[in-house]
Structure 1
Amino acid sequence: MMQRRTSRSRRGCITWRGRWAAYPVAGAVGLTALTGLAGLAWVPPAAAEGGGQCTFPSKPFEGRPWSLKRVLIDQLWQTTKGKGVSVAVIDTGVDVKHPQLKEAVDTKRGKNMLPKKRKKDEYGNAPKRGKENGTTDLVGHGTKVAGIIAARPSDKTGFVGLAPEATVIPIQQNDAEGTGTAATLAASIEYAVKAGADVINISQDTAEALRPESVLKRAVDEALAADVVVIASAGNDGSGGNVKKTYPASYPGVLAVASSDRNNERAPFSQSGEFVGIAAPGVDMVTTVPGGGHCADNGTSFSAPYVAGVAALLRAEHPDWKQHQIVAQLEQTAERSISGRDRHVGWGVIDPVRALTEDDQPIDEPVAREGVSKAEEPSPAELQLGESTQERNERLGTYVVVGGGVLVGVLGGGALVYRDWRRRGATP
């Protein structure tokens, strides 16, 4: 089980509640949390599949990560790679120095939502704010998220984004100090809509329920009304069977994403609840890090962009589909262990190829039993008091066969008797 040490909290701030290590050692953040009561959680950084501690930059991952091996990539990209679709990554910024992200990130539409005046620490140093276009990422979290969505192919690695021709809009809303708040997240969502995002990825949550009329709820509702697909991580507090709502994932219309492991089962840390809509790989997730190279990390923070990448492909393939139809398609085609929905993985673990190939027509909501329509009930058989027609036909047929056999026997026997009589009569 992942252990934590909690440091001081600051009311009204977004705090990190996942895997993290001080820069330049891997900023392996599993999840951010929008709450003023939870503190920073410091745990050892995640290790890549090949082993070793992650640094910025890091070595390239030469093979194909397991999360991509489970997908028939060529079949997935048969009709689209996400070209023309914009995905807003509301996070810690996206580093464009990474070769696989340089062409993926739209620096003109990027935005830094952090306050310009930052509170100084006990040593009198103010945290670095970063570039205005959101392309500074000292933590690494946003760069990892963006890579899973839209990293371009490279000859040096088998890792690639699920929508390698989609465009990422970097919106820096958080940092290592947890400066972001629910208000800045709401403002980031509003900006993403204005910037023309088709999909919004939010790998953050709050452990506390927010008021129904909260500014964050209003921002989410406005994004949905603008026909934007909103995807959020479900949370990493699922260890020990803990079940609770997290926000913005729990808001109606938001696709809440849980984490699955290599066996397509819920990862132990993944948050459960009736709000969970779907699950996606979230264990040992190899992806891009600032400066270049790759590292692995765990968390629903990296399951959400996996789904966002597939959502971008669907948006490119079906630009006329509504946002709720994109969500319903992802849920309906997910791989399930039961016929319907459960609180651990929602409608199942995402199946990217099936989502892009079983798409003949849009659906408004997923249904149980894989969408098979109910067959008509059979009509009851009529009660027969006597011999049925079939039985009578079978009896008459038997008579004909037996009678025919008897007649043939009689004629054959008579012919033999007549022949013998002729022979005896002809004898001198």
Structure 2
Amino acid sequence: MGGLTARTRSRDSGSRALRWAFGVLAATGICLASTPPVPAPAAPGVPTRLSDSGRPGFGLSASTECVFGGGVIKPTPWSLQRILLDQLHAQATGKGVTVAVIDTGVDDSNVQLRGAMAPGGGDFVGSTDGTQDLEGHGTRVAGIIAARPLKGTGFEGLAPDAKILSFRYAGGQDKQGDSRTMSRAISAAVAKGAKIINISSDTANKQDNTELRNAVAAAVRSGALIVAAAGNDGADGTSAKTYPASYPGVLAVAASDRNDERAYFSQAGDFVDVAAPGVDMVSTVPKGGQCTADGTSFAAPYVAGIAALLKEKHPNWTAAQITTRVEETAGRPGRGPNRYIGWGVVDPVAALSDDSTPGNTPQPDPPMAARSGGVVPMSVTMGESETDRQRRVAVYVLGVGLLLVLVIAGSGMALRDWRSKQAAGPGRTGLPGQRTT
């Protein structure tokens, strides 16, 4: 699998707009031979509330499938290329920190996770110790946090010396799991003393749930930092709350792409705290090997890995202080947060490099002060993004296409009338066989 190429999704909604525009033109019978074809979208994932694409290998080229127990991907993933790993790991590696992963289980037969598992996990949909994973989802999540380095691949976890405590709440053969099993898993993680808990799932139909709310509140009171995926229902860009990400005290993570923009599927909302890479994410899979996948499921453990590094370096910091440092050092979209990427896309090296003691909540940047002479500098604005450009091109293509339809239709009617008059001859109407009087 080392030769596999990951499909770029930075075009996201712009590409969909182009596909829609060309689809309309195709329906009207217009063929623009000079226009390059637009790739067909990947097959949608199966319905699930796990905050990923829902199927192994989503994010690879259409002809590629994920094979559990397959090979590794040789190049360093883009999500790690953007980090100076040597500089990061010179400050912390997650040693002595345990992260609870509440998911579909974590398969410890993968060599990159074999030495990463902490004893004491549990299973709320089966009878294992949390180290069976039929779906592969939890194994991916765990790898992004704490996969050990392996010769032959550029992939490793953000906190490669951290330990994973696996609680399987979903993905059983007979019982798929629900908010109740998730709540029980959260309580079990707290009872084991977990101070960082990753949840890469949300409730179906964005439903609040009293039992789940209470379990999360108890975990927050215990001092645990819950990192949760924002969800993948954001293709339309509308705001909505998801749970448990929207509960107070939870660090809600959206997904970003290679351009540090919101991934098109990532749920938007005022509850979003930060964003992290969530497109074409390489990670470990059951039985060995690696695959790629998309989703806020894999953005959340990216942030949980940063939290583990901060916990090692600053063991006395509270959950609120760790959250604040992650938010303060993110690449801000403005003076404060927005509903798409929160306080911005996380920067692991910046988070670890600042040794000042953070507060319990991030603060917006102060307004720009006036320069000498009372002149206030104009705020810097970004130029047209690739997504905006493709949307604009889609509108142009559709407009020109519809104009061509009207011109062709009008010309056809005019030509038909002219031919009818020619056939009728002088003194005749346009109806054959009738003579004027």
TM-score, with normalisation over the residues of structure 2? 0.72
CA distance in 2, matches of 1:220, 1:161: 26
Q: 2:401 is matched with which residue?
A: none
Residue 276 of structure 1 aligns to a residue in which SS? Answer: coil
Bigger radius of gyration, 1 or 2? 1
User: Could you give the per-residue CA deviations for residues 290-348 of structure 1, whole angstroms, max 9, x where no partner exists?
Assistant: 11111000000000000000000011111111111111110010012312100000000
- Is 2:133 the counterpart of 1:137? yes
**Pairs within 5 Å for 1:383-398:** none
Deviations 1:232-261 (A, max 9, x none): 000000002132110000001101100000
Q: Which moved more, 1:330-339 or 1:172-181?
A: 172-181
- The structure-2 alpha-carbon separation of the partners of 1:216 and 1:340, relative to structure 1 and needing over 3 Å to count, comes to same
Instruction: Work out the CA distance in 2 between the residues paired with 1:176 and 1:3.
Output: 25
Q: Which residue of 2 aligns with 1:362?
A: 358
* Correspondence for 1:248 among 232, 244, 254: 244
Matched, 1:19 2:41: no
Specify the SS of the correspondent of 1:87: strand
Report the CA distance shift for 1:6/1:72 in structure 2 as closer, same or farther (over 3 A). closer
Q: Which of residues 204, 207, 218 is equivalent to 1:209?
A: 207
Whether the 8 Å contact between 2:256 and 2:345 is mirrored in structure 1 is yes
What CA distance in whole angstroms lies between the structure 1 residues aligned with 2:238 and 2:232?
Answer: 10
CA distance in 2, matches of 1:70, 1:17: 23
Q: Is the alpha carbon distance of 1:361 and 1:17 closer, same or farther for their aligned partners in structure 2, counting shifts above 3 Å?
A: closer
Q: What does residue 85 of structure 1 align with?
A: 97
Q: Say whether residues 1:110 and 2:115 are aligned partners.
A: no
- Whole-angstrom distance in 2 between the partners of 1:239 and 1:231: 22
In the alignment, the residues of structure 1 paired with residue 253 and residue 100 of structure 2 have an alpha-carbon distance, to the nearest angstrom, of 17
Does the aligned pair in 2 maintain the 1:230–1:255 contact within 8 Å? Answer: yes
What is the letter of the counterpart of residue 191 of structure 1? A
Other structure's SS at 1:241 match: coil
Alignment of 1:107-186 (within 5 A): 108-114=119-125, 129=126, 132-175=128-171, 179-186=176-183
The alignment status of 1:195 with 2:192, answered yes or no, reads yes
Q: What secondary structure sits across from 1:169 in the alignment? A: strand
Q: Is the 8 A contact 2:239 2:270 kept in 1?
A: no
Partners of 2:315 and 2:85 lie apart in 1 by 21
How far off its partner does 1:89 sit?
Answer: 0.4
1:403 corresponds in structure 2 to: none
- C-alpha spacing 1:224/1:57, structure 2 compared with 1 (3 Å): same
Deviation at 1:50, TM superposition (A): 11
Partner of residue 287, structure 2: 291
Counterpart of 1:398 in structure 2 is none
Native 8 Å contact 1:49 1:296 kept in 2: no
The structure 2 residue matched to 1:232, chosen from 225, 228, 231, is: 228
Check if 1:99 corresponds to 2:111.
yes
Does 1:319 pair with 2:315?
yes
Query: Within 2, Cα distance between the matches of 1:249 and 1:81?
Result: 26
Whole-angstrom CA distance in 2 between matches of 1:208 and 1:71: 33
Equivalent residue number for residue 418 of structure 1: none
Q: CA deviation at 1:58?
A: 1.9
Identity of aligned residues (%): 47
Summarize the Cα distance change of 1:275–1:140 in structure 2 as closer, same or farther, 3 Å threshold: same
CA distance in 1, matches of 2:191, 2:369: 47
Indicate the SS of the match to 1:204: coil
Deviation at 1:52?
A: 2.2
Task: Provide the aligned C-alpha RMSD in A.
Answer: 2.4
Moved more, 360-369 or 197-206: 360-369
Flag as ranges the 4+ runs of structure 1 deviating above 3 A.
1-7, 14-18, 47-51, 372-378
Q: CA deviation at 1:65?
A: 0.4
What per-residue deviation string (whole Å, max 9, x for no partner) do you get for residues 64-83 of structure 1?
Answer: 00000000101111121011
Runs (5+) with no aligned partner, structure 1: 8-13, 22-27, 29-44, 115-128, 381-428
* Structure 1 contact 329–359 (Cα < 8 Å) conserved: no
How far, CA to CA, are the matches of 2:146 and 2:75 in structure 1? 18
The answer for the alignment partner of 1:337 in structure 2 is 333
Give, in whole Å, the separation in 2 of the partners of 1:18 and 1:313: 24
- Normalised to the residue count of structure 1, the TM-score between the two structures is 0.73
Cα deviation 1:358-381 (Å, max 9, x = unaligned): 231122111112xx6997999x9x
Contact 2:336–2:363, Cα closer than 8 Å, also in 1: yes
Distance of 2:159 and 2:45 partners within structure 1: 37
Q: Call closer, same or farther: CA 1:86–1:339 in 2, change over 3 Å.
A: same
Q: Which blocks of at least 5 consecutive residues in structure 2 are unaligned?
A: 1-15, 17-41, 375-437
User: Residue by residue, what CA displacement relative to the aligned partner does 1:152-205 show, whole Å, maximum 9, x if unpaired?
Assistant: 111121100000010000111101666211111111000001112120000000
Give the distance between the partners of 2:348 and 2:128, measured in 1 at CA: 34
